[in-house]
A and B are shown apart, each in its own frame.
Chain A
Amino acid sequence: MPASSDFCSGAQLKGAEHPGALGRLLVAPDADAQAEAWDGFVAKHSALLLRVAGSMGGGRDETMDRYAFVLERLRQDDFHRLRAYCPDNRAKFTTWLVVVARRLCLDQYRERYGRASSDESSARETVITRRRLQDLLGADPEFVQIADPSIPHPVDAMQSVTDGTVLHRALATLGPEDRLLLRLRFEDDLPAREIASLLRFPTPFHVYRRVNALLSALRLRLTNAGVEGPDQ
């Protein structure tokens, strides 16, 4: 996940201007002006950058280490990363800056501790998601235990594979936003309130209603495909 991106094209920049502190920094005519503009940039955005650094956990020392790392990398190569911001991005500069700063914090973590293997946690999350969905849909609970060596009989395992495939297909019929909604709710375990804010639903109740509608539709598809619930 790179922390910087390509430079803006001329067409993208046409008619658009960098926001105040960034604009002054990028057009500073000499070293003194640049140093002054940099001080202004840091003063303007330090609260936000500290918040990003603090969001990664740890104590004050770790936060300050990350903050210093982010500033150093933003300043590196004549503000190479900051020059990548496109003013016509439509997202505010501060939003863009948070994404960049957070990725830099991850870079710093990986430099120190190495890249964590996500295979195991990803597989675990997938199982958790399917288990929660299965609980809600009332499908055969065995199908999420394919990887479990304690599965009693190969026939059950075969049925589990079939049911899992059916669920996978049913999920694939949903639109991207609905699939994201279910992931946020059942894999990431986000409260409806936060999902509503993130996906711009008017209220948390709109999230509940949408989730309930999706689960009903999925349940129907599974039933039509011959997947029986635990009480059937």
Chain B
Amino acid sequence: MRAELIHAVHLPVEEMSRFEAGVVDRASRDRIYTHLASCPECRTEAVEVHRILRGHNRARKVPRLLGTAVGLAAMITVVVVLQAPTHSMPAAVTRGVPEARAGVLLLHPLAPLGEISAAAGPLTFIWRPVSEAVEYHLTVTDQVGRTLWTRNTRDTTLLPPLEVALARGFSYFWFVDALLPNGESVTTGTREFRISR
């Protein structure tokens, strides 16, 4: 009965947009979250709206970033031309600085990448260690983003269990997130592989 009442009225447009914007006030917060937890339709809407806006914002950022990159490239060219005769850039500027702190995605995926052969032995996920990482989280998904397998590990190789059946001729995706001691994380980014027929 209570669930039926909750489902009878969906979240108004204003509350849904406030939830997405992260500006839900304290008074309505519990009600909105309670409704979302019990209403699959509103939850789907919240997820879809979030995806749409995130995709839209990313698409808008690309031209801006390109413009910024062009500007920076021009500045760097000028600086290099002006400074080249006097001294060179010290080679060890970033030595000893953890790669993740340098703001670069440097959790290197090693395998599987691209087209792989089923005859080459059991499928094994391998990535380079990040010295500071305390835990890695591997996720394997299919082409539509459905999660097929996830696993936490402190190792840098993982073999999927037999029940994770990956078919030949299909593409799959995987990524590893490493949690650093300071609470930050680095990732391999999403990598694709395909088991050849």
Q: Which residues of A approach B to under 8 Å, CB–CB?
A: 1-5, 47-48, 51-52, 55, 84, 86, 89-92, 94-96, 98-100, 102-103, 118, 122, 125, 175-177, 179-180, 183-184, 187-194, 197-198, 200, 202-206, 208
Contacts and interface: CB of A to CB of B under 8 A. Distances in A.
A205 B177 contact: yes
A169 B145 CA distance: 32
B130 interface: no
Contacts of B22: 200
Given A180-B33, A204-B185, A99 B17 contact: yes
Nearest to B135: A205
Contacts, number: 132
Interface in B9-60: 10, 12-14, 16-18, 20-23, 29-30, 32-34, 36-38, 40-56, 59
Contacts of B163: none
A89 B10 contact: no
B160 to A, nearest CB: 17
B152 to A, nearest CB: 7
A177 B177 contact: no
A217 to B, nearest CB: 16
Contacts of B51: 55, 194
A91 B12 CA distance: 13
B137 interface: yes
Contact of A5 (B13, B38, B179): B13
A200 B145 CA distance: 21
B146 interface: yes
B147 A184 contact: no
Contacts of A180: 33, 36-37, 43
Interface string B88-108: 000000000000000000000
Contact of A176 (B16, B34, B54): B34
24 contacts: A1-B41, A3-B13, A51-B59, A52-B52, A55-B52, A96-B14, A98-B52, A102-B45, A102-B52, A103-B13, A175-B30, A176-B30, A180-B36, A180-B43, A183-B43, A190-B47, A191-B147, A194-B51, A197-B50, A203-B184, A204-B177, A205-B137, A205-B185, A208-B152
Given A5-B12, A51-B52, A91 B33 contact: no
Given A118-B40, A203-B184, A90 B18 contact: yes
A177 B12 CA distance: 19
Contact of B55 (A51, A91, A191, A206): A51
A127 B62 CA distance: 42
Nearest to A177: B33
B50 A198 contact: yes
B145 to A, nearest CB: 8
Interface string B137-171: 10101000111000010000000000000000000
A14 B98 CA distance: 51
A171 B182 CA distance: 31
Given A1-B10, A204-B185, A90 B47 contact: no
